[in-house]
Structure 1
Amino acid sequence: MKYGYRRVSSVDQKLDRQILPAEISEANVFEEKISGARGTNRPELENVLGRLRPGDELHVYSTDRLARSTRDLLDIVERVKAVGAVLIFEKERLTFSGDNADPMSDFMLTMLGALAEMERANIRARQLEGIEIAKSRGKYRGGRKRLDRKAVWKLLDAGFGPQEVADTLRIGVASVYRIRKEGRSMASAP
């Protein structure tokens, strides 16, 4: 069986440029819009890895789409090889399977993983530099606004409906429902 895996780091990004072989059925292409950082829960990746059987092929557009750390990349490659499946990186034209012990391919994989890891660190450093510059100019507002659970309960107790509370506090109505469901014990939490 041939499978494909595509990943982008955020919901705003597109998967279109990650071209996989046409013979892979759309039903066998697993996609997610989530960070590839080590420790990140990637359910679609786990799903496809769990389906692999001896002789199966897993096609990934590029090494940096599979993992952002060298250790994670090498671990995933070993998992694929351990079940007797084949891992193919389309962009780099690298193939890994349990029966092809190619030291040069292993070296290339390690180098590509290290480069992806370095690029990720550089992106993060540039992002932090940009935030510091924006803060110094007074143009950075920070992350998400914390929910004021007490204010939500005050309005609910005053007879406001969930939509009215959401509109008044400029928050999503789903947040109001969630706070109401959690109960008053969470009202003192930030």
Structure 2
Amino acid sequence: MTDIAYLRVPSAEEDVAPQLATIGQQMKRTFIDKCRSGRSERPALRKLRSYIRKGDVVHVSAIDRLARNLFDLRDLVREFNSKGVSVHFHQEQLTFKANDSEGTTGSMLRMVEALSGFERALVKEKQSEGIEKAKQRKAYKGRKPTHSVAQIKAALQRHDGNKTAAARDLGVSYRTVLRTCQKEGIE
């Protein structure tokens, strides 16, 4: 069994010492990312994922140091557990064990999944409310078109009106071309 630490700080200037103090024990190996949590590219996490072996324990000072959101937490814990690796979050005093004979890790993961679904629903609801308010203020324009009507007409002419070929030519979906044709009355 190898004790491994994963630490993440938002910038190069910040110190990892408080996270090490939270973990509070000597680690065999430490992986440190110096980037914001929203970044999907975290080199030390990528190295950790390839380094871990069955029986290892990954120590993290807090959940927000490892995961960007609940979906990310669920996926990372599942990945680590499937490799026989346990994950221990010190601040929350949570351990997701790889070889859990009592079934508590599975229960905790189901709870995380339920919470992640709840989180996603809240985000979608807030997004919809924001779009509705923007529409009422006439501030919502939707996504800007990637191609002009003239560009779509030209692509249709080049392909003798074949919408599929025109879409492929422009690098857009068939539905985009179809929607523009319906909106502009193009046959």
TM-score normalised by L of structure 2: 0.51
- Cα deviation for residue 120 of structure 1 reads 2.2
User: 1:146 & 1:97 partners in 2: Cα distance?
Assistant: 48
User: 1:58 & 1:52 partners in 2: Cα distance?
Assistant: 8
Q: Secondary structure at the match of 1:88?
A: strand
Q: Which residue of 1 aligns with 2:32?
A: 29
Q: Which residue of 2 aligns with 1:68?
A: 70
- Cα deviation for residue 68 of structure 1 reads 3.1
Distance 1:26 1:99, change over 3 A: closer
User: 1:86 & 1:189 partners in 2: Cα distance?
Assistant: 44
- Cα deviation for residue 28 of structure 1 reads 0.9
Q: Which residue of 2 aligns with 1:103?
A: 103
Q: 5+ unaligned residues in a row in structure 2: which ranges?
A: 151-168, 173-187
The one-letter code sitting in structure 2 at the alignment partner of 1:21 is: L
Q: Secondary structure at the match of 2:70?
A: coil
Q: 5+ unaligned residues in a row in structure 1: which ranges?
A: 9-14, 36-40, 151-186
RMSD, aligned CA = 4.4
For the 8 Å contact 2:6–2:30, the answer to whether it is kept is no
1:50 aligns with 2:50: yes
Distance 1:6 1:140, change over 3 A: farther
User: 2:28 & 2:139 partners in 1: Cα distance?
Assistant: 47
TM-score normalised by L of structure 1: 0.51
Q: Larger radius of gyration, structure 1 or 2?
A: 2
User: 2:28 & 2:143 partners in 1: Cα distance?
Assistant: 40
- Cα deviation for residue 108 of structure 1 reads 2.5
Quote the sequence identity (%). Answer: 25
Q: Which residue of 2 aligns with 1:112?
A: 112
For the 8 Å contact 2:58–2:87, the answer to whether it is kept is yes
Q: Which residue of 2 aligns with 1:123?
A: 123
The aligned runs of 1:117-156 (5 Å cut-off) are: 117-143=117-143, 146=146
Distance 1:147 1:119, change over 3 A: same
Give the total of aligned pairs.
140
